[in-house]
Structure 1
Amino acid sequence: MKKYLTQKWIVICIAVFCSILWGSAFPVLKISYDELQMAADDTIAKIVFAGMRFLLAGLILLVGMLLVKPKALLVTRRQVKFLVIFGIIQTSLQYFFFYNGLANTSGMQGAVLSSSGTFFTVLLAHFFYANDRLNWAKAIGLLAGFTGVIVANWGQEMKLSFELTGEGFMILAALTGAIGTIMAKEMAVGIHPFALTGWQLTIGSILMLLVGVPQMKPNAITFTPLGWGLLGYAAVLSAVAFALWYSLLKYNKAGEISIYKFVTPVSGAILSSIFIPGENLTVFIIGALALVAVGIIAVNYKHKKPGKQAKIET
């Protein structure tokens, strides 16, 4: 397995696939809010919905592992403590900040600020790992990817303002996500990536539900057959994307594969234009795709060695 998860072209395909899955969550969530008749300002209902989504995702993985590889679910006492902390940071805290922050920012600000998690991950990896330092290729990749996110959202209004519960929470969501990425790479030694994902999502979601359910208003969420289907898809995409992502982290540099997360907001914009009425594919989104591609190429560019031509790894 390690051999396949370290081959460059396989890593790129899986990382991009995960980012597209996370991008699909944007239109799915927007459609879900309307279908389930959740009020735009009802943060508690959104937290409960997120808790249900991640609990289902976690259970899918845990039950799957129980059937296929039950011994992989066993963890030590020390690993249990890590999983609890990891679940709180990577699921509970990150999505508490994300759902609250997104409710108080514009669409463009939300996309741009959430993509800052890539910067945080690359910077943290620079200080944590001697073989994952920030270099010119990564710097160009970060600049191109971040510019692509801005270009993708250029048609939307962007207000120059800052509120702790809005822009501040989006930045904190990005930071907690980056910290979680480094934790998964640094401290999850000996834990199967799928088991890690299942425990993380389950523990974090239970905390969200314990906090949210007692405060939720009656009839704040009205489920329909389509609503249940959307919840199921959101749960599956979370389970698959996180499990594959942690598998990549186990065998690859965190700073390098995190660059591919710039695909998430761009794919989210494209999928939103396809599935959400009134949102259209524009020349800005096409330009953003080109910039993100430049960023990915830059990160994978190998400097010329004596007697050899520089090349792009594939």
Structure 2
Amino acid sequence: MSRTNAMLLLAVILWGATIPPTKWALETVEPLTLTFMRLALSSILFVPYAWKKAKKEQSDMTIPWLRLCSLSFTGVAGYFLFGYTGIAFTSGVNVSIIDSTLPLFTMVFAYFYLKERIVWQQWTGLFIGLTGVLLIALKSDKSNDSSLFGDMMVLAGCIIWAVYIVQMKKPKGEDRLPSELFTALLLLIGAAMIFPFAVVEIGVLGWPTFPPKTILSLVFLTIGSSILAYWLWNKAVESVSASKASVYLNFMPVISVIASVLFLKETLTWQTVIGGCLVLTGVVFAERLQRRRALD
């Protein structure tokens, strides 16, 4: 395995393993507050190092702030805003499977934004995948603490992150920034965007508490799945196409399901299994033609 492929795989593993620590942290910290804390702590730890390193390598940097705000809204603030809220109201298994629709929405947005052609096989894959999501979301499974609202919030987060991936396919200045600084600024801007929502949440629901389980979960979310995972991903996509990199995201639901079953003791119902199979079938069906085109 090449170094770039290893970086992509490790990033996906770190992202896929976030559901259990996120659920544990949400036991004592509300979703928007947790989102802000994760992004703010990541920024505090990473921005000084990234800035110093970037200034040493490039003394005349031009930072495209508006572009970074757009990318941070879709890839960081918006994604976490919807995603964490969804995770708080549904099961880890549901989150894992719904997240796997990301390549399907990426394909649709690439059609509108990048004018990439979509044939009937890909539309069929999208239909099959969304049918699987509906089967999962419309069921009632109190034993797994799942809900339609939570599932739809996770789906909204998935959709907005697909916009981020498509935006990255057309660089507009961010490609001239070192990957470390690019990642750090995305996290910093995302924290600033979430801050007002977190303030309102604390004002309404009160201050969170931080038992050891919550602190350890926050450490993993900050260092592992924020700083390290984002840096690995952004560094890797400098060397491979976005379409090739997105294939690795298909491993994320598998990792997330395994982590949810092992660490959260969640169960797999027949609706979840069938819905998950439909989602993965739709993704494979839609992406097979895309990979074939890439080889041609």
Q: TM-score, normalised by structure 2?
A: 0.73
How far off is 1:134 after superposition? 6.3
State the match for 2:31 in structure 1. 46
- Hey, what's the Cα distance between the residues in 1 that align with 2:217 and 2:32? 16
Q: CA deviation at 1:66?
A: 3.2
Which amino acid is the alignment partner of residue 179 of structure 1? Answer: V
**Structure 2 counterpart of 1:93, one-letter code:** G
Report the RMSD for the aligned CA atoms in angstroms.
4.2
Determine what percentage of the aligned residue pairs are the same residue.
22
Contact 1:181 / 1:254 at 8 angstroms: preserved in 2? yes
- What does 1:123-142 correspond to in 2, within 5 Å? 123-125=108-110
Shift of 1:115: 2.0
- Quote the offset at 1:21 in angstroms: 0.3
* Change over 3 Å in CA distance of 1:300–1:121 after alignment to 2: closer
Counterpart residue number, 1:68: 53
CA distance in 2, matches of 1:230, 1:110: 18
1:222 aligns with 2:209: yes
Q: Does 1:213 align with 2:206?
A: no
Tell me: CA distance 1:122–1:67, structure 2 relative to 1, closer, same or farther (3 Å).
same
1:95 to 52, 61, 80: 80
SS of residue matched to 2:18:
helix
Letter in 2 for 1:119: L
Change (3 A) 1:173 1:82: same
Per-residue CA deviations over 1:144-177 (Å, capped at 9, x if unaligned) read xx69x98xx99x99449996x5444333211210
Which of 180, 184, 192 pairs up with 2:178? 192
Shift of 1:228: 2.2
Is 1:171 aligned to residue 117 of structure 2?
no
Cα separation, 2, equivalents of 1:261 and 1:184: 15
2:196 aligned with 1:203? no
**Separation (CA, whole Å) in 2 of partners of 1:72 and 1:86:** 23
The answer as to whether partners of 1:122 and 1:254 remain within 8 angstroms in 2 is no
Structure 1 letter corresponding to 2:160: T
Shift of 1:200: 0.7
- Specify the SS of the correspondent of 1:189: helix
Within the candidate set 70, 90, 109, 1:85 is matched to 70
Distance 2:19 2:248 in 1: 17
1:244 to 196, 208, 232: 232
3-state DSSP class of the match of 1:76?
coil
d(CA) in 1 for partners of 2:98 and 2:258?
A: 18
Q: Report the Cα offset of residue 105 of structure 1.
A: 4.3
Query: Per the alignment, in what secondary structure is the counterpart of residue 251 of structure 1?
Result: coil
Aligned residue number for residue 266 of structure 1? 254
More divergent stretch after superposition (226-235 vs 18-27): 226-235
Closer, same or farther: CA 281–60 of 1 in aligned 2, 3 Å: farther
**CA deviation profile, 1:61-104 (whole Å, cap 9, x unmatched):** 32222343334687536x01111222222222222222233444
Q: Deviations over 1:208-256 (max 9, x none)?
A: 1222124315654111344222212111121111111122223322222
| Structure 2 unaligned spans of 5+ | none
User: Which residue in 2 is equivalent to 1:233?
Assistant: 220
Q: How many correspondences in the alignment?
A: 275
Q: Note if 1:33 corresponds to 2:22.
A: no
Mapped pair 1:180 → 2:140:
no
5+ residue gaps, structure 1 = 1-7, 39-44, 306-314
- The alignment's TM-score, normalised by the length of structure 1, stands at 0.69
- Cα distance in 2 for partners of 1:60, 1:24 equals 21
**Contact 1:126/1:133, CA 8 A, preserved across alignment:** yes
CA contact (8 A) 2:5 2:236 kept: no
